[in-house]
Amino acid sequence: MDNIKLLKKLNEQKSLFYDEIGKVIIGQDDVIEHIFIAMLCKGHILLEGVPGLGKTLIIKTISEVLDLEFNRIQFTPDLMPSDITGTEIINQNLETGNRELKFIKGPIFSNIVLADEINRTPPKTQSALLEAMQEYCVTTGGQTYDIDKPFFVLATQNPIEQEGTYPLPEAQLDRFMFNVLIDYPPFDDELDIVKSNTSLNSNKVKKIINSKELTDYQNLVKNVPVSDNVIKYAVNLVHNTRPSGECLEITKKYIDWGAGPRASSFLILAAKAQALLLGKATPDIDDVKKVAIPVLRHRIILNFNAEAEGIKIDDVLNELSNQK
């Protein structure tokens, strides 16, 4: 199938995808769109929001609409790395009578993995995700086991409860393409949520996109051409987050650490997917601006000045995005 036909098919299935999710999830359109964009870019997502906003339900519903294998891992303080990756057991061969080690795959061996409340488990266990997220494989007992593609980690965490939690290390945060914040629903949406949750109606969703189709769309995103001025804008935006050399005044004043080169690549990939979902053949600077905050907000560390003045990361990024 040529790229034009594939783009047309993507936009047809996009509408069906959103319609099916809308049967279960009320509102949160931006969150769902960002998750879909990340999946088109083979990216992982970190969702943040207070309890009860539907983070887990959103991910579970998306996995049902996509014809992909889904596993959920509830992260707790006593979770061990082998609980995620799998473990070796001694198995007796009934034919020879010999004992041998057999690897039992863990829940990480799936297409979509929900890492629920990821900041509730110690760094040793969090790091078990690192290799899988970057290399799409798991190494244990001297053997490497490949994870079937497509593969996505969608992690959730609660930003207000810090007692008994372990902040994600920067190396792992950097592997998430997007950091998406889920806010309280508007009044009208909350009315509909209450009506839906307190009735007997149980909406079943249909599977819309299968593994082969999703892989085709991922390849389509890679093939989208991007003009040099758009790439230059994205790289310049990331450079402007770094408080070194001749940096901008706002960067020098409020930022301790800026984003790395991976952020530039994610900006362009996300802008490509954003353009395709709008039916465009190539992204422009506005597409980069639309995805800049979720791509960059978890890669930047603000300093004490920002904290003292009540300046948020999103405020700084909005200012940087509008720089000429």
For residue range 254-276, list pLDDT tens digits in order.
888 888 899 999 999 999 999 99
DSSP H helical segments within 74-138, as ranges? 81-85, 123-126, 128-135
Taking CA atoms, 185 is separated from 14, 26, 52, 154, 265, in Å, by 23, 9, 11, 21, 32
Token pair listed for 70? 């889904």
pLDDT confidence bin for 324, thresholds 50/70/90: low
Per-residue 3-state assignment (H helix, E strand, C coil) for 25-52: CCCCHHHHHHHHHHHHCCCEEEEECCCC
pLDDT in tens, 29-39: 889 999 999 99
Token pair listed for 267? 């900006």
Among 234, 233, 298, CA closest to 261: 234
Q: What three-state secondary structure class fits 240?
A: coil
Token pair listed for 121? 């488990």
Please name the residues in contact with 213: beta carbons below 8 A apart, sequence gap of 6 or more: 9, 13
Please name the residues in contact with 186: beta carbons below 8 A apart, sequence gap of 6 or more: 27
Q: What three-state secondary structure class fits 200?
A: coil
Q: CB–CB of 116/73 below 8 Å?
A: yes
Note the pLDDT of residue 36.
92
| Signed CA dihedral, 85, 90, 92, 93: sign only | positive
What CATH number was assigned to the domain covering residues 224-324? Answer: 1.10.8.80
Note the pLDDT of residue 162.
67
pLDDT in tens, 133-188: 888 888 887 788 899 889 999 998 887 766 667 888 787 888 899 999 888 888 98
Return the CATH class of domain 1-197+205-223. alpha beta
Q: Domain ranges for the chain, please list them.
A: 1-197+205-223, 224-324
Note the pLDDT of residue 164.
66
Among 222, 258, 221, CA closest to 237: 258
Note the pLDDT of residue 231.
95
Note the pLDDT of residue 90.
82
Q: CB–CB of 49/183 below 8 Å?
A: yes
Strand partners, 113: 71, 153
| Signed CA dihedral, 238, 217, 34, 166: sign only | negative
